[in-house]
């Protein structure tokens, strides 16, 4: 498996956006390139968030936070 950096993901996104503006690109292809650019950007953001969660020296195992339940303070209050 090849691991690419978030910076490389952002470069790929920029390349897709540049290709999208080239002459002769059909509207469906331009839409596909825009979707690819957004996907590369999303991947870059995910990699950056993962890097923040992983401390140097860690084995890469992340203990999940209880993502299935919102904290009680975030629960909507019922109006009486």
Q: How confident is the model at residue 1 (pLDDT cuts 50, 70, 90)?
A: confident
pLDDT of residue 36: 97
Number of CB atoms found within 10 A of residue 46's CB? 12
How far apart (Å, rounded) are the C-alpha atoms in residues 33 and 16?
5
Q: How confident is the model at residue 80 (pLDDT cuts 50, 70, 90)?
A: very low
- Name, in order, each residue with C-beta under 8 angstroms of 43's C-beta and a sequence gap of 6 or more: 6, 9
Q: Enter the pTM of the model.
A: 0.66
| Average pLDDT for 10-18 | 97
Rounded to the nearest 10 degrees, how much is the dihedral formed by the CA atoms of 44, 45, 48, 54?
-110
pLDDT at 65 over 70: no
pLDDT tens readout for residues 21-47:
999 999 999 999 999 999 999 999 999
């Amino acid at each position: 498996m090849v691991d690419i950096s978030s910076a490389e993901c952002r470069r790929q996104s920029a390349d897709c956006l540049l290709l999208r503006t080239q002459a002769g690109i059909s509207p469906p292809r331009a839409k596909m390139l825009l979707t690819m650019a957004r996907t590369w950007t999303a991947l870059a953001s995910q990699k950056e968030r993962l890097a923040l969660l992983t401390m140097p020296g860690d084995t890469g195992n992340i203990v999940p936070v209880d993502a299935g339940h919102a904290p009680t303070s975030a629960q909507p209050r019922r109006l009486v």
